[in-house]
Structures are given as structure tokens and as C-alpha cells.
Amino acid sequence: METTPAAQPPFPVPARCSPPDLLVLGAGGPVGLAWQLGWLAETAHLLGNGVPVIGTSAGAMAGALLLLGPERRQAITAALRTAAQQATAPAPADTTPARTATPPDTELRQAAAATYAGGPKAIRALGKLMAARPDDGSHLEQVRQMVGEEWPAGDLTVVAREVSTGERKIFRGTVPLFLAVAGSSAAAGRTGPVSVSGQEYIDGGYGSLLNSDLARGARTVWLLAPAGLGSFTPETVPALMRQELAELRATGTHVEAFTPHGDFTDLGAFTEAGRALDDGGEVARTWLNRP
């Protein structure tokens, strides 16, 4: 596929801001997507579509939007900010009796948490639980509307997990884009597994929110961890992410890792999307302007 080099900014940038060999975009739900889009709004001019991207879950969506170009990316960014505003707006008065809130699915939550230490077996078990829950298909349609079917110019790797084996699945242009991204972002409690070419897939962030081992061999990597490295649950996950980064750096790869300044404890809360967009932009600007 044809690629275009990163655009030259209208002002000098430090050498450390030269485009990396690889961009790694991690998982993080709707809030993580918003945060990464805020960061990309400040840095896309440095990246163009000539930098290969590895995207997991929200990172797969952000990577696709980066390579699809500014018009699509800005439209989704505006839609996220609108969704956040609508989610925080006071609800109209309602005289009907209040309904009892649906309790969280403890079984699903525990199964999802187990994937970070339980390996493929735990991922297979989670996938089976997800398949047993009702699914209205809205996730697939939403992703179709956001990224479409055609893969963009540039080098995009989308990471998902195959339910039948529990192993990692890499998509690189062989199926419609929205199917790959939908599979990569099929999170427990929000949707069921996504069927692609006869196999079912779930969120690529199970087992690893970063999948940064795929970056081994790159000389320089910019890595976005919107879930943060110290505030995500279950408690074991931050340590696992830090271990991943340490292992990647131990191979000789120079890694610039970016995490939120703010604390986002509920990565599925659309009410936080606006704040996440602003935080991502602030993190990028702070780094770009650092002496």
C-alpha cells in the first residue's frame, strides 16, 4: 500500500520527536479511545501514515482513524465530545417508577480479570461466557460506521484474541477493516464475540493491554497506554504492563511511553470522554514542548 511521509511541521521540533519506527496504541475502552484521539490531535502531523501502527482494542480504533486521515478522525473526536456532553446533561423529569439497576455481571468481570494471568485457557473460558450472553449487534454496526470496510493506506496491525484457541490473532488487511477492529474491541459486558471468516474473536486487550512484545526489533517506539500504568484494575495489570515495557526496553528498543495525567478509573464511562480528550492533548503538548 502507498504511504505518505510525515508532514513537516511549520516549526523546529526536538530530535526526540522525530517519527518513531513504530507506534503502539493500547487498550482502554471508550475513554482510552478518546484519550488517544486527543493525543493524536497534537502529534498526527509528525506521524503521517508512514509509521507502522500496532493497535489493540481502543488502540486498533485509534490507529485506524489515524491512518484514515484527519477528516474521519476529527469527526469521531467531535462525536465523542458530544456523547460526553449528552451523558453528563441532566435527565428530564420522569414520573414513572424507577427501575432497579441491572447488577454488574460478576461472573464476566471475574473471568475477564483472570485472562491477565490465566493465559489462553482463561481467554477461551471468557469467550464462551461472552457467547452465552445476548448480543444485539450494535457494536459491530457502530464500528462499521466509525471506520468502514476498506483498510487505509499505511501499515496497520490489529490485535484480537481467538475464542477457540485463546491465542492472539493478527489482522493485517485480509478481512474488512470494521470486522478486524470490532473483534479487537469486543469487550465483555458490552458485546459478544465477533465472527470473522468463521472464527469468533474477542478483545485483543485480554491477556495484554499493550501487546508490546510485537514491537520487538524496532529501534524506536512510541507507546500509548491509556489505561495507565498504575491505576487500572485488576491490581495485577499495572505490574504486568510495566513488566512488558521493561522486557521491550531490555531488547534495546527505545520506548517513549505515554499515559494519562488524570485518573480515569472507569474506562467505559462516556461521561469522561471529554476530559480524556483534553488530557490526551495536554500530555502530548507537554511532551512536545519539553526542553
pLDDT tens profile 4-20: 555 444 445 567 788 99
Mean pLDDT of 167-172: 98
- Alpha-carbon distance 51 to 233, whole Å? 31
Q: What are the Cα distances from residue 133, in Å, to 24, 35, 136, 192, 260? A: 31, 29, 10, 7, 33
Measured at the alpha carbon of residue 67, what is the angle toward residues 225 and 268, in degrees to the nearest 5? 40
- Alpha-carbon distance 89 to 83, whole Å? 10
DSSP string covering 125-190, please? HHHHHHHHS---SHHHHHHHHHH-SSPPSS-EEEEEEETTT--EEEESSSS-HHHHHHHHT--TTT
Which residue bears the cell 491477565?
116
Each residue's pLDDT tens digit, 67-82 = 999 999 999 999 999 9
Sign of CA dihedral 161, 62, 54, 195: positive
- Alpha-carbon distance 276 to 34, whole Å? 6
Taking the model in full, what pTM does it have?
A: 0.89
- Alpha-carbon distance 225 to 241, whole Å? 9
What is the reported pLDDT for 102?
Answer: 41
pLDDT band at 228 (very low <50, low <70, confident <90, very high): confident
Which residue bears the cell 427501575?
99
